[in-house]
Structures are given as structure tokens and as C-alpha cells.
Structure 1
């Protein structure tokens, strides 16, 4: 019987050459799960953002002119008192050593102790965070609940060049309101509705504990006005584009109810672009909330960080910068999660996966 050598026989299509096969492991699991790939990628992004905020928050206080030790020592203190305070605060250490100490403390969850109040920075932040969080979250929810339906309604009413007066008027009004800075809108609302009509209270809720949600109406309105105009204009434009697609023409040919056409086919297809842009706008609203707090004298992170800068309270500045930056990062993460739930292809690297 003739023996044939298989050493030089061509391999069948799709087979592997002899040798140890790779065992199914983490790489195979990651390749099959777009959500796991997304989680790993975003976890790395959050970690990089956190480390960048640590570096930036440390370096930014070095640019603030003046020495906090002189302010703490008082006007009548001599140089010996100033040096003693600098030593107590660790300001006499080399910058590299201070940076290493700062990074080590933050990574262990310790944001330091306030120079002015001698309290843990985390305690100060937690006492002010509810005011900023209330304004920011309420503002974001208000923007999404008003801007998306408003933009869709204008897009539906002006479809195919209809009601051109409405389209032009909406563009002019939205463009004008969008150009008004937040602090100007806040000041106008205070003069009009607090000092003038007197519908809403002007006293911050921290100083009038019995006041309720009405104390936040004007700050939220001032914060949300500009983003509502921006996002509604984007939604109007995306609605006009979606309505001209073939599947929308087919839906109109089937005589489907208007609400079903809008919610089932138009809304999901315009949300991807809208939410992508909204993520950037909503992140910027965190910074806007800081300015709005100053106008309304709310005891949130905004007024806290401004006071800390004036007092040269380095640990408070650093802690608040890190917290505000991470809040913005988590808002972006939430937007990406929503986009992934709408369409898994938005997770990245998952095209074609059902």
C-alpha cells in the first residue's frame, strides 16, 4: 500500500496549519461583545480623563498670583509667621514633591484639607454639590424635553417648504436667543421676574430653607435657554432631512398616523446626530451652571470655586476642578450609552452585529 506524505499537501480552505491553537479567551470574548469593547474603551477614557484632571488641577493653582500663607497669616504677621504657615501647609516643599503627595492623596480618595476652613475638601464639595447638581440636571432634562419636540414640530410643520414664515421666524428668534450669554439672560430674568413681577423668589434656598423648587426656576431657565435654541435648530434641520428619505415617503403612502410616523421612524433616525451634538452642549452646561450660580448667589460649586480662587485655597480649587471635570466626563458617557441603546453601531466596531 502506497503511503503519501502530507507534508506538502495544500491546506483546505478555512483550515489552520498544524500547531497549537489559540484558546478562546478574553480576546474572543471582547471581539464578540460590542458592549464589552465599549466598556473597556470608555473605562480607559475615563481613567485618562481623571489623570489629566489631576495634572491640570495641580498645575493651575501654581498660576494663581500671590501666596496663600500671607492671607492666612494676616496683615500684622512677620516673615516668621508666614514661613511657619507655609511649612504647615506643605508649601515649602519642592513642586515635584508636592505633586507626588497630591497624586497619592487623590488616588486614595483624599482631596486634602481646606486652607481657609480647615475642613476636608470632600465635605465642602458635598455640601455644595446638591445645588450645582440640581441646576445642571434640571437644565439638561428641560433642554431635552423642550428642544427635541420643538425642533421636530417645526420640521414637520415646515416640511417641503410649507409655512416659510414659520421657518424664518423660528430661525430668527432661536438664533437671537442663542446668541445671548447666559449671565445676561440670568440678569434679565432676575430683573423681570424676581425684582419686577415678583413671581419667583430671589433669595437663595441656602438662606431661606423653607423655599422650595421655585427658587431654582430662574437659574434653570437661564441655563437652558441657549441650549434649547441650539438643539431645537439642529433637530429641525435633521427632521427636514429625515422626512425626505424613502422610508418616510413609504410610511406616508401607507397612510399611517402622524404620531406613529414621527415617533417610530423619524425620531430614532434623527437622534444620533442630535444626541452627538447635544453631548457637547450639555457638557458645556456644567460650566454655564457655575456662572449662573454666581448671578443668583447660590452656594454651589460655582460660587465655591470663585471664592476659593480669591482666597487662594489650593485644595478646594483642585478638588472642585476634578469633580466638575468628572461630572462632564460622565455626562458624555451617558450620551454614548443612550446612542448605543438606540443603535448598537454607535458603540464603535460593532457594525453588522445584530
Structure 2
């Protein structure tokens, strides 16, 4: 009997695991975007102060302030401003800065590469430190061996992993820039200026993820197949990198997506500590002068980047463990 059209393999294409998974994730991404648009619009309405007064200056007359409010569209009803905001987004227009008159897209294009550079290098630090460190500690303490190492790792990773990025950044500046005079304290003029902010952003997340890797690795190392592999006296690189590492990455990536998303927030905060000319510094400046369009555009861009990062982690999980393709997203 001939199969129904589009039912190759006994299932329509949209009923297969990967298409269903991607449709579900893309639907979630669309919901995140809608939420971001609503939140970014309403968020700036809660910022105290008047943008028109901030731009006009303390010496401006009430008539001048009112005229500027009209020019900026701040005297229009809230629903009308929201409709204008969403209409502009659909047309690819993020608005114009209240303070400088620049298109917000141009502001983001100028500042975003600096933030992306910090975030990318911090992600490299997180993954480059967390996976080998967690796996090495798990191997060294397997079966209850070296309890002092286990205790020291737990204490240090817990302490530094819970330290806010801006506190760690300030301590790094005091030690390496002021006391030792080894690295610049601020700016982006040289490559060495990247070291302190990248460490301040990446180290806490790396240690948090290393604890997860250590726990997952400890569970994997107790599995029967690894006991058999150890009995066959396989080389350590083959044993741990080929047989253990792929099986512990699923649990690691699940929390890793949350860690890497939180890392974006740390990037924005740390930029202010190091006077880094990125998006975070520009957002702080915009908040001080109530520059609504720049705040909205920056938060929208960072939120979209975080959502895409989580989508990428979900795809990687699907490739590593196909069982996650049919799992429901946590509510």
C-alpha cells in the first residue's frame, strides 16, 4: 500500500524529533521576544525623573521643557507610544537617542563589539577552566581519596564562585593594577587591558561550573563501563577524555546555559568597574540621563543574545543526547 504523502518513515516531517524540537524552541524564542519588547518598554517608564528635564538642563524654563517633551513624544498617551515603539521595531528602527540624537542602532553597533569581545573571552575562560579543573579534581578524589583536596576545592570554588563580579573586579584592580602595577586598571587601549575584566567576569562562573563538572564526573567515574575500561588499563587520555568526558557534558551544559546567560549580566556590570567602552557603560550613562531609547535597545539586544545562547545550548544538548529532543521545557 502506498504511504500517505509526507509520511516517510511512518511519520509526517513535523512529528519527527528534530523538527518538533526546533519548532518548540523557536516558539519559545518568539515568546521571549514578545516578553522582551513589552518589558523593555514598560521598564523605562518606572525610571524616576523626566528625560526632557535631564536633556534641557537645570536652567531651562517650564515652557522649554514642555516643548522638548513634545518633540520627544513624551506627552503622548502610553498606548500610542507603545504602538510607535513596536512599529519601529518591526521596521528595524530602534529609535533615536534622546541625549545625542544618534540612531540607537548606531550606538549599539559602536559599543556592542567591545561587550561581545569581553563576553566571548569570558566564555572561553569558563569552559577552558571549568571542564578540565572539575574533571581533574573528580579523578584525583575518586573513591574518597585526597579528602583535603576535595575540601579545599569545595571551599575555594564556593567562595570565589559566590563573589559578585564587581567585587572581584575591584579586588583585581587593587592587587594587579595598584599594588603590583602589572596591568592597566581601566580602558581598552591595549590587549593587556582585557585581562582583568575577563578574569573578573569568567572566574566566578568557571568555578561554579567546575563544581558541577566535578559532581557529574564523580558519578560517571563510578559507572561499570569505566571500571571495565580501567581494568583494561587504557591510557588516561583515552579513558577520561574519550569515555568519561562525553557522558558528563549533558548535565554540565544544562546548568552551563544558565551560567553563561548570567555571565552576560556580569559583563554589563564589570564594564563600569573597568571603564570599558562597551554596552554596559553606555547603559549606565543612559540610565543617568533617562535616555529611554538607548536603554530599551541595549536591554533588548542583550536579552535576545541570551535567548539565542540558550537556544544554542539546547541544540548542543540535542546533538549530545537525543533523549532531550523529546523532553518538555521546564515550566
User: What is the TM-score of this pair, normalised by structure 2?
Assistant: 0.94
Compared CA separation, residues 155 and 349, structure 1 to 2 (3 A) = closer
Matched, 1:145 2:123: no
1:295-352 deviations in whole A, cap 9, x for unaligned?
00111111111111110001001101100101111111121122122122222269xx
Contact 2:118-2:198 at 8 Å conserved across structures: yes
Matched, 1:222 2:200: yes
How many equivalent pairs are there?
A: 326
Tell me what 1:4 maps to: none
1:83-138 deviations in whole A, cap 9, x for unaligned?
21111111111100000010010111100000000000010011111111111110
Q: Distance in 2 between matches of 1:25 and 1:293?
A: 53
Tell me what 2:40 maps to: 57
Where has structure 1 moved over 3 Å in runs of 4 or more? none
Q: Distance in 1 between matches of 2:85 and 2:299?
A: 14
Matched, 1:251 2:210: no
Matched, 1:68 2:51: yes
Matches within 5 A, 1:273-352: 273-348=251-326
Matched, 1:182 2:165: yes
Q: CA deviation at 1:35?
A: 2.3
Compared CA separation, residues 116 and 264, structure 1 to 2 (3 A) = same
Q: Distance in 2 between matches of 1:67 and 1:25?
A: 60
Contact 2:125-2:203 at 8 Å conserved across structures: no
Q: CA deviation at 1:24?
A: 2.5
Tell me what 1:30 maps to: 14
Q: CA deviation at 1:22?
A: 5.7
1:9-52 deviations in whole A, cap 9, x for unaligned?
xxxxxx9xxxxx964369701223x2222222222111111111
Q: Which of 161, 167, 175 is the aligned partner of 1:192?
A: 175
Tell me what 1:165 maps to: 148
1:163-190 deviations in whole A, cap 9, x for unaligned?
1111111111111212222111101100
Tell me what 2:75 maps to: 92
Contact 2:253-2:317 at 8 Å conserved across structures: yes
Q: CA deviation at 1:249?
A: 1.2
Structure with greater helix share of residues: 2
5+ residue gaps, structure 2, are none
User: What is the TM-score of this pair, normalised by structure 1?
Assistant: 0.88
Matched, 1:260 2:242: no
Q: Which of 234, 237, 242 is the aligned partner of 2:215?
A: 237
Which is greater in Rg? 1
Q: Which of 94, 103, 111 is the aligned partner of 2:86?
A: 103
Q: Distance in 1 between matches of 2:21 and 2:187?
A: 42
5+ residue gaps, structure 1, are 1-14, 16-20
